[in-house]
């Protein structure tokens, strides 16, 4: 069992020096040179690090807020968890070292490209992505839509920085690598693993700003659990209904899509301002099951007609279903997807040049 104390001592012994971020543009095949403790009987797992709280550092071990996210490099994270070598041959790739709120589409495209290249190699059996939790679900959803492989893609993070007395990053990292190395994890799409829970990237969301058990999928449930760092899946591999995948190998940038929040007496002009600033699509985080004001709807209808703006209804509530409205032909219903995931799907649909029929099948599919 992983000792958090030993992890902290390892971090302190390394001086907790912030690692300089760098971009790794090529992913070489894993070899014994990459892993001094290489064991040919274990699977090869590559850890792609992007920063976040799991790589965070604070001045005091009791500090769980106000820390610096993305302060530690992936090599430090790996060295702090020597138990990783009991389950896999691990190798780290530093893609970025940022607060997850600073993740951009270009970083996601680069990350997806590197993961795809790694999984296409016969020398790699799975990958793990370390990520800040604030936007972890968005990146995991993006990878679920763009990485084409049956090999596991597991995204993990932490709610407390690496320097905290109660740091959850080390055990989450060990859990994620263990899941990525498990044959039973294959064919399930991208997974999110934190707090001993295994969830589908398609539906899971962050539900609490501070608590370690924040990632949940209330309606759809978890896919499995970890007991003594051993994954137990509840169901055989399956994909969410309506899931599509996109080829972004030629992408350099993605279309701008903005999310607008619904509230009483909302400002209809915000939609026009978003389009004027470059938005090709809008996601409406509507009231209830996608409600919007009459004045706001009039502006949206005009934007769709005059600018060709793609519009999808979602909801500001934690869960729920936004159903299609056959009387409106200028926007689509987001179904069970929350606004932030609807944004990613709409962004990829616009990039893929979907027409009206394509968007309808993308968002308003029949189960």
* 230 token code pair: 């051993």
Are residues 172 and 181 in contact, defined by beta-carbon separation less than 8 angstroms?
no
Q: What is the arithmetic mean of pLDDT over 1-28?
A: 40
Q: What is the arithmetic mean of pLDDT over 99-113?
A: 97
**Residue 366: what pLDDT?**
66
Rounded CA gap, 271 and 259, in Å?
A: 9
pLDDT of 26 > 60? The answer is: no
Query: Across-strand partners of 111?
Result: none
pLDDT of 111 > 80? The answer is: yes
pLDDT of 367 > 90? The answer is: no
Rounded CA gap, 76 and 278, in Å?
A: 40
pLDDT > 70: percent of the chain: 89
How many CB atoms neighbour CB 145 within 10 A? 24
- Is 133 annotated as catalytic? yes
Q: Is 214 annotated as a binding residue?
A: no
- Domains of the chain (ranges plus CATH)? 4-233 (3.40.50.1170), 257-363 (3.40.50.40)
DSSP one-letter string for 281-305: EEEEEEBTTTB--HHHHHHHHHHHH
Per-residue pLDDT of 128-173, as tens digits, reads 999 999 999 999 999 999 999 999 999 999 999 988 888 999 999 9
Q: What is the arithmetic mean of pLDDT over 191-215?
A: 96
Is the four-CA dihedral 250, 256, 319, 333 of positive or negative sign?
negative
Q: Is 196 annotated as a binding residue?
A: no
**Residue 36: what pLDDT?**
56
DSSP state of 220: T
Q: What angle do CA 349, 354, 358 make, to 5 degrees?
A: 100
Read off the pLDDT band of 18 (50, 70, 90). very low
Which of these is catalytic: 53, 64, 130, 214?
53
Q: Model pTM?
A: 0.89
Using DSSP bridges, classify how beta strands 190-194 and 44-51 pair: parallel, antiparallel or unpaired: unpaired
**Residue 306: what pLDDT?**
97
Which H or E run includes 225? Answer: strand 224-227
Q: What is the arithmetic mean of pLDDT over 183-195?
A: 98
Rounded CA gap, 75 and 130, in Å?
A: 12
- Is 53 annotated as catalytic? yes
In this structure, the dihedral spanned by the alpha carbons of residues 40, 224, 228 and 55, taken in order and rounded to 10 degrees, is 70
Which of these is catalytic: 46, 50, 64, 133?
133
Q: Is 133 annotated as a binding residue?
A: yes
Nearest to 14 by CA among 47, 43, 55: 55
């Amino acid at each position: 069992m992983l000792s958090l104390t030993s992890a902290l001592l390892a971090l302190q012994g390394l001086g907790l020096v912030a690692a300089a971020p760098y971009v790794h543009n090529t992913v070489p095949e894993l070899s014994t040179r990459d892993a001094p403790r290489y064991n040919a009987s274990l699977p090869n797992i590559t850890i792609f690090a992007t920063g976040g709280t799991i790589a965070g550092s604070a001045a005091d071990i009791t500090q769980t807020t106000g820390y610096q996210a993305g302060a530690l490099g992936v090599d430090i994270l790996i060295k702090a968890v020597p138990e990783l070598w009991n389950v896999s041959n691990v190798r780290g790739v530093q893609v970025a070292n940022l607060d997850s709120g600073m993740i951009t589409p270009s970083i996601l495209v680069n990350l997806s490209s590197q993961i795809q290249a790694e999984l296409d190699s016969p020398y790699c059996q799975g990958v793990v992505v370390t990520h800040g939790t604030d936007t972890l679900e968005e990146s995991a959803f993006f990878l679920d839509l763009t990485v084409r492989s049956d090999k596991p893609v597991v995204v993990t993070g932490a709610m407390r920085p690496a320097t905290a007395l109660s740091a959850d990053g080390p055990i989450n990292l060990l859990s994620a690598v263990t899941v990525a190395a498990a044959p039973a994890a294959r064919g399930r799409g991208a997974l999110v693993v934190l707090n001993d829970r295994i969830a589908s990237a398609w539906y899971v969301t962050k539900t609490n700003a501070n608590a370690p058990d924040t990632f949940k999928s209330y309606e759809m449930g978890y896919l499995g659990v970890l007991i003594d760092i051993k994954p137990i899946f509840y169901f055989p591999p399956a994909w969410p209904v309506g899931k599509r995948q996109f080829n972004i190998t030629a992408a350099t940038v993605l279309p701008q899509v903005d999310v607008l929040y619904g509230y009483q007496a909302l400002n209809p002009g915000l939609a026009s301002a978003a389009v004027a600033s470059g938005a090709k699509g809008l996601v409406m985080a509507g009231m209830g099951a996608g409600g919007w004001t009459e004045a706001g709807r009039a502006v949206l209808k005009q934007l769709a007609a005059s600018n060709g703006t793609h519009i999808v209804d979602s909801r500001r509530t934690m869960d729920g279903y936004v159903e299609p409205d056959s009387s409106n032909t200028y926007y689509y219903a987001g179904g069970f997807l929350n606004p932030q995931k609807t944004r990613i799907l709409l962004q990829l649909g616009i990039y893929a040049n979907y027409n009206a029929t394509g968007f309808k099948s993308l968002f308003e599919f029949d189960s």
